Amino acid sequence: MKLYDCATAPSPRRVRIYLAEKGLDIPVIQVDLASRAQHDDEFLQINPHRTVPVLETDDGARLVSTAGICQYLEQLHPEPPLIGRTALERGQVIDLDSRIEFEGMHAIAEAFRNKARSYANNALTGPHPYAQIPQLVDRGRERVGHFFEWLNEHLADREFVAGDHYSIADISALVAVDFSAWIKMSPPEGATEIARWHQQVSARPSAKA
Amino acid sequence: MKLYDCATAPSPRRVRIYLAEKGLDIPVIQVDLASRAQHDDEFLQINPHRTVPVLETDDGARLVSTAGICQYLEQLHPEPPLIGRTALERGQVIDLDSRIEFEGMHAIAEAFRNKARSYANNALTGPHPYAQIPQLVDRGRERVGHFFEWLNEHLADREFVAGDHYSIADISALVAVDFSAWIKMSPPEGATEIARWHQQVSARPSAKA
């Protein structure tokens, strides 16, 4: 098994943290997004959709979404459970993870990619050259503000995002909060619940992954 | 268990088809999105995020995403498997389902919600009044065109979206293709693989759900 990664990018960091929490150590191949290596012919053979992470199995099958990669690994390595311990918890973790993906990660990416000069004709991931839409910068930032409001309120009566146990929803939320620095945002000062939780999950060794 | 549904809406249709494929029959409560019932106080107690589907368990727990609902039900009712039969298949089905969600469903919703007069300050789901951005109508349509191209090519050497067995990826793709009629789009005439597959999955009794 091997992982196509980019050490500086938020999406593959979700998989790196997941692997660290599971105690899995697999070979990593760096794809330098900063030098646009995801558009090189060599990488197009790996993932025509031009994104990392990509997990390649020993049989050469490839998984290209964080959700798909984590679900696959969870079946092979169920301990410690990171996608719920029961059917209901699994549903709840995936519910929360989907929300963080869309309202956190996508919103930050929207604000970032529609502004950064180097993404001028690359406002969405993938092979197609979508132009930037300046209004999405403000909309993305507004969405991120609402995401922080929700997350702070949500964490008020929960130790972790999905309740009393650490899960992929914590990984996604941690990566989203840290990714928000790319658009010069951070949880507001009054967001004490996020601050408490962020300190706790950032102190886990996996957060360095 | 019960399902908060809207008979005319695409997202809850994914869950209805899933239930039909599993042979599960659960009570359904209609939430009339056309009359904005998702914004009523009564429904806000059910789902403050104002979306359907919502699956409520007998213990009163609620799941609010298609992915979370299907993963929960899959644990309780594994047969017939609709999220893969092996770890790798599970990862692959979720990979494809994520792609169809983002590049199909979201793209169609983008084109639809940024144009329809009744969504004037409701361009994104949820409680916040995001204004429409006219440029997203064209971008959404362009994305849907690329989605159809990808889907047709992808189906060229596969009976079903995830290979040789029907899965939630077929459900999502079927609902996305049918949802594209809302923006007056459909797969192009030359998309013979989509046509063959669409006819096949539409002929299953579950497609009427």
At B12-58, the pLDDT tens digits run 999 999 999 999 999 999 999 888 888 889 999 999 999 999 999 99
B88 and A98 within 8 Å at the Cβ level: the answer is no
- Could you say which residues from 104 to 163 on chain B have a Cβ atom under 8 Å away from some Cβ of chain A? 124, 126, 128, 130, 133, 135-136, 139, 142-143, 146
Average pLDDT of chain B to the nearest whole number: 97
Radius of gyration of chain A from its Cα atoms, rounded to whole angstroms = 17
B180 pLDDT band (50/70/90 cuts)?
very high
The domain segmentation of chain B, as residue ranges, is 2-76, 87-208
Residue to mutate among A50, A95, A144, with most B CBs inside 10 A, is A95
Locus of tokens 């594209």 = B180
Topology at the third CATH level for domain B87-208: Glutathione S-transferase Yfyf (Class Pi); Chain A, domain 2 (1.20.1050)
Task: Name which CATH class applies to B2-76.
Answer: alpha beta
Residues sharing a CB contact under 8 Å with residue B163, sequence separation 6 or more, in sequence order: B89, B92
Long-range contacts of A86-90 (CB under 8 A, 24+ apart): A86/B75, A87/B72, A87/B75, A87/B76, A88/B57, A88/B61, A88/B72, A89/A162, A89/A163, A89/A165, A89/A167, A90/B71, A90/B72, A90/B75
A71 and B90 within 8 Å at the Cβ level: the answer is yes
pLDDT for residue B11 is more than 90: yes
In whole angstroms, give the CA distance from residue A201 to residue A171: 8
CA distance B25 to chain A (A): 19
CB-CB neighbours of A107 under 10 Å: 26
A37 pLDDT band (50/70/90 cuts)?
confident
In whole angstroms, give the CA distance from residue A130 to residue B9: 28
Helices (H) and strands (E) in chain B, counts: 8, 4
Q: What percentage of chain B has pLDDT greater than the value 90?
A: 96
Residue B193's φ and ψ, nearest 5 degrees, are -70, -40
Tens digit of each residue's pLDDT (9 = 90 or more) over B96-133: 999 999 999 999 999 999 999 999 999 999 999 999 99
Provide the CB-side half-sphere exposure for B173 (13 A, CA). 32
